[in-house]
Amino acid sequence: MGCANGKVYSRKLCRPLVTEADLQRLSSALADLEPRRLRGRVRACLGQSLVAGGLHSFTARGDICRIGTDDGPLLLAEVVGFDDGGVRLVAYADPAGVVRGAPVTLDRRWSAVRPHTSWQGRVIDAFARPVDGLGPLPQGPEPRPLFAPPPDALARRPLGARLRTGVRALDLFVPCVEGQRLGLFAGSGVGKSTLLSMLARHAEVDVVVVGLVGERGREVGEFLTHALGPEGRQRAVVVVATSDQPAMLRRRAAYLTLTVAEWFRDRGARVLCLLDSITRFAAALREIFLSAGELPATRGYPASVFTELPRLLERAGPGTGTGTMTAVFSVLVEGDDPNEPISDAVRGILDGHVVLARRIAERGRFPAVDVLASLSRAAPRCYAPDERELVARARALLATYESMAELVEMGAYERGSNPELERAIAVRPAIEALLAQAPDEPPTDDPFARLAAALAAAEAGTSGNRP
């Protein structure tokens, strides 16, 4: 037996008995061990909320505890607060069967995940467990805290180069750069999930991380099979927490989505993070904080909801290395009111917003992007001078038509009385045709050339009709 270069060798066999891979696995296993078991007891249980005693000196907000006996069913709960009565926890599952005096054991192994490159093409739950039936999920060597703080503002790299999304309406009128954070604001049933699937398939990135938070179970399968498709799913990691699951799981799924995306970003990849939806994440927060004893404030949302929103959203964007995380967060606008509390709060945090309009969807044009109501704060740095002038001209013509749309559609407009409106009427069908794009339609090589041709044809047509 001998030792060289940190390895143990057999002199007879001249091969290492312990390899670097063995040491790495041993190190990972030791990192998961708790130095000792810290236990308390359940004092009270009401709904999903529990109170435990005996853990005041050992737990912090966000810690995970295991409730029940060692040989019983696994029930995990998260510490959400403290008071004189004990530690307040909210369970990740139905606490049916938990009795007064049941043991509560601190278990920090669940506070971190170990992402791996082989997670691409897989579907996982809020605890990073596979739910796609494709076998075990490999674990990486590096633990990543689930509730990590955002990168330091001064250490972050600036936004990167222009990102081609492959969606003409966005590339033309709401351009995006690497590391930008966009909000996708839409009511129900106007094509929000379809647009997200188009981004997942067509965007020029290395990795896509999709979080489906609070979605209906039926829609999850349809999104994976039909909307995302094999080509989109191959490079995507999909995190799922359906609407029937407890609020703690829905909240955790959102944080897991950002954690996995951060890991790929910190490895130097260009990452697209898609989270659907922030509204259901906020609804989960409302349920959690109300059960923890907080008082409702704005439209029933406790103040802590608006404190936690930026903690999640600010984690997206460029990091301190060469990788970038571009993020699109969907916002389900309640009652089609763009100024409801969650929409208003999210809009103030992000770097731009894409608005899907119901009136456009009812006309049958998809994606139903309202280009006049949508805005990218990175647009000035995205356009070349000729592109900026072209898009500004198209926006002006669309705005002119919108301001007079009722008169035109009623037949009350007298043709020839407004030359600018004549040009807007002439160019609008071509622009609408350019903005329409089927989900499986491949990206256009140069959408600006098509827009320029449409404007030129409209100008020529109106010039020829002048007396």
- pLDDT, block means (10 residues), the chain with 467 residues: 53 61 67 66 89 84 82 81 84 87 88 94 95 92 92 91 95 96 93 92 96 89 84 91 94 97 96 96 93 86 94 94 95 82 94 95 94 94 93 94 80 75 88 93 89 84 56
User: Distance between CA 183 and CA 278 in Å, rounded?
Assistant: 9
Tell me: do 99 and 228 sit in the same domain. Answer: no
Tell me: do 418 and 302 sit in the same domain. Answer: no
Domain membership of residue 410 (yes or no) is yes
- The residue among 110, 137, 160 that closes a domain is 110
Tell me: do 295 and 325 sit in the same domain. Answer: yes
- Identify the pLDDT of residue 293: 82
User: Distance between CA 146 and CA 348 in Å, rounded?
Assistant: 24
Tell me: do 140 and 180 sit in the same domain. Answer: yes
- The residue among 92, 110, 128 that closes a domain is 110
Q: What is the DSSP letter of 443?
A: P
Tell me: do 306 and 398 sit in the same domain. Answer: no
Strand pairing of 207-215 and 270-276? parallel
Domain membership of residue 1 (yes or no) is no
User: What is the number of structural domains in the chain?
Assistant: 3
Strand partners, 145: 112
Strand pairing of 123-124 and 236-242? parallel
Q: Do the beta carbons of residue 313 and residue 329 sit within 8 Å?
A: yes
Domain membership of residue 455 (yes or no) is yes
What range does the domain containing 60 cover?
A: 21-110
Strand partners, 23: none
Tell me: do 319 and 217 sit in the same domain. Answer: yes
Tell me: do 393 and 313 sit in the same domain. Answer: no
- Identify the pLDDT of residue 302: 94
User: Distance between CA 46 and CA 90 in Å, rounded?
Assistant: 10
Which CA distances in Å does 281 have to 147, 227, 246, 252? 15, 22, 11, 9
Q: Identify residue 17 by its one-letter amino acid code.
A: L
- Identify the pLDDT of residue 216: 85
Tell me: do 361 and 455 sit in the same domain. Answer: no
User: Distance between CA 252 and CA 393 in Å, rounded?
Assistant: 45
- Identify the pLDDT of residue 467: 46
